[in-house]
Chain A
Amino acid sequence: MRLQHQAIAGTTESSDIQIMIEPNVENEIAINLDSSVQFQFGKQIKQVIQDTLTKLGVTSANIKAIDRGALDCTVKARTLTAIYRAADVTDEIDWQVID
C-alpha cells in the first residue's frame, strides 16, 4: 500500500497510542517511539507496528508514535487506521489484517 500524505490516529490518553505516519522519501520504514513503558515494552511495540505495516504491504513510511501504555490490540488498531487514512483508503477496508 502506498501512502499519499501525512495522517494521524489515536490520542495521548492513558492506555492509548498516537500514531503519526507520512511517506518517507528515503523509501524505508523509520519508527520513532516515545513510550511510558519504553524500557519494558519498547521493542515489542515497535515490532507490532512493523508487523502491521508489513501485513498491509507498506514498505516506506516515517512513523512517530507516542505511547501511553497501550496494549498490542490498540497499537495494531491505531497503526492500521493511520495507514488507511494516509493512503486515502475509505471503503472496502480490510479489517481482517487484525488477526
Chain B
Amino acid sequence: MVKNTIGREIPTEFADKYGVFKGAWAKKSAYQTAAAQVHPVQPTDSKLVASIHDVIEKVGLKDGMTISFHHHFREGDYVMNLVLAEIAKMGIKNLSIAPSSIANVHEPLIDYIKSGVVTNITSSGLRDKVGAAISSGIMKNPVVIRSHGGRARAIKAGDIHIDVAFIGAPSTDEYGNINGYHGNAICGSLGYAQVDAKYADRVVAITDNLVPYPNTPISIPQTDVDYIVQVDKIGDPDGIARGATRFTKNPKELIIAEYAAKLIEYSRYFKDGFSFQTGSGGASLAVTRFLKAAMLKHKIKASFAIGGITQPMVELLEEGLVNKLLDVQDFDKRSADSIRENENHYEIDAEMYASPFAKGAVVNQVDVAVLSALEIDTQFNVNVMTGSDGVIRGASGGHCDTAAASKMTVVVAPLIRGRIPTIVDQVNTVITPGESIDVVVTEYGIAINPKRKDLIDALQNLDVPQLTIEALKAKAYAIVGTPQSIVYTDQVVALIEYRDGSLIDVVRKPGEIDE
C-alpha cells in the first residue's frame, strides 16, 4: 500500500502502474503525442456503410480492442447501446470501452460486463444503476475514472489508445463532415468527440440526419472520418437536458447562491473583463442569476464564460454581459441552439477546455469557478463520485480541472441533504484535492481555505457569515448526528486518476453493514 500526499492509500500494484498523486502541479514534462492510423480514401471510394454490423466488420473490430463514445446526448444517447448490442450479437469479447461518460440510459452495459463483452472501462462518470453494479464488484479490472481534461490528456499522450471511435452525429454529409447543430437530436458542441476523432485509428459516424455535401459548420472534418452509418435515431432530444438545468426555487439553494454571488462580487476578481465557469447543479445555476444582478449594478461585463453551457449563460451572452462563450458541451436545447445561431458562442474541444498537458487549456484563463459537491471534508477535499454510502453514482467531470486552474474556486453545497452531512471528517472518495478549493459556501455561511490568507484578509468585511470548515462540520453533525464510517472490503472497483494521470484515490467495494 502506498500513501499519496493527501493520505489516500493506493494498493502497490496500481501505484506502480500509474504513480500516485503528489500535488496539483507536480507533473510537468515534455512528451510525444500519440498518432492515429490513417487509411487513405480515394475518389471512387464510398464511406457510406449499410449497417452497424457491416461497419464493425469493415473496421476489423476484434477481441481486446478499445472503442470510444461521447456523452453529449447525456440521458438521451442511443448510440452506445446500439453499437454494444451489435457487438455482443457478433460474439466479440474482452473489449475496453472509453466513453467520455456513462449515463443511466446505458444500463444494458451491466449485462455486457457480466457476459464478458466488456472487460475494461474508462469514463468520467458512472450513474445510479451502472455505478451500483460496478461498486458491487462485477468487474475484475477496476474502472478508471478520468476527468474531462484528464481523458483528453490520456488520449493525446497515448495512455488511452482508441481503435475505433463511434461518434453520434446529429448531422453529417456522406464524406463525414459532422456537426451537432442541425438535425433531430441536436447536442450543440461535440467537444469530447473531437478529441476521439483526432486520435482514434478508425472513426465511424452514426447518424440519423444525412445532409448534402458539404455539411457546415464542420466540427469534425471529413479528414478524420472513415465510415458513416445511417440509423433511425441516434438519440432522444428530451434526454439531453434531463436531470439538469432546472431553475431552483429551493430557498436553501437560493441563499447559497446569494452568498456565493456576494462573495464573488466582493472579491478582487470581480472586475470588467473577468471570466467564470458555473456548473449545472441547482445552486450553481442560481449563482449565474445573482451574478447577473451584480454585473448590472456595477456595470461590469465578463470577457468569457466556459463549461458545460446552460441557458442562464446563454442569456448573459445575449444581453451583452458576457462577450464570449467557450463551449465543450451543452446541457439544454437553448444552449445547443445558441451555438448554431451566435458566432460569439464557440465550440472548443476537451483538450483545449481542460487538459493539464496542453499548451495551455482555457481553464488556465478562468478567474472564478463555481462548482458543486457531494461531500467536502475538513481538508477541503471534494467528492463528486461516490454517495455517502460509498457507492459510485457520480462523475468526475471537469471538477478537478477547473478547480486546479481557476484563480478562485468556490464550492457550493447545502450543509446537509436530508440526514446526510455534506461537510464531513473525511470524504469517501477524493476527486479534487483540498489545495484546489478556495471557498466553501453553505446556507449557514462560508469557510475559506486557511491556505488562502489573501482571501481571508480581503473578505473580512464581507456581509456573509464566516466560519471555519471544522465549525461547519460540527454544525452539520449537531443536526444529523455523527455518521458511522462506511466499511469497505479490499476489492478495488475503481481507480481515480487525477487530471495528470497519477492516482489520487481508489474506490473499494463497500462491505456488509456492521449491525
Contact = CB atoms under 8 A, between A and B. Distances in A.
B420 A43 contact: no
B483 A43 contact: no
B149 interface: no
B307 interface: no
Contacts of B481: 41, 44, 72
Interface in B376-406: 388-390
Interface in A21-61: 36-44
A69 B420 contact: yes
Given A71-B479, A71-B480, A72-B481, A40 B418 contact: no
A70 interface: yes
Nearest to B424: A40
Interface string B458-488: 0000000000000000000001110110110
B510 interface: yes
A14 interface: yes
B502 to A, nearest CB: 29
Interface residues of B, number: 16
A70 B420 CA distance: 10
A4 interface: no
A40 B483 contact: yes
A40 B389 contact: yes
Nearest to B510: A39
Interface of B: 388-390, 418-420, 479-481, 483-484, 486-487, 510, 513, 515
26 contacts: A15-B418, A15-B419, A37-B388, A37-B389, A37-B419, A37-B420, A37-B483, A38-B513, A39-B388, A39-B389, A39-B484, A39-B510, A40-B388, A40-B389, A40-B483, A40-B484, A40-B486, A41-B419, A42-B513, A43-B515, A44-B484, A69-B418, A69-B420, A70-B419, A71-B419, A72-B481
Given A37-B389, A40-B486, A69-B419, 18 more contacts: A37-B388, A37-B418, A37-B419, A37-B483, A39-B389, A39-B390, A39-B484, A39-B510, A39-B513, A40-B388, A40-B484, A41-B419, A41-B483, A42-B515, A44-B481, A68-B418, A69-B420, A71-B419
Interface of A: 14-15, 36-44, 68-72
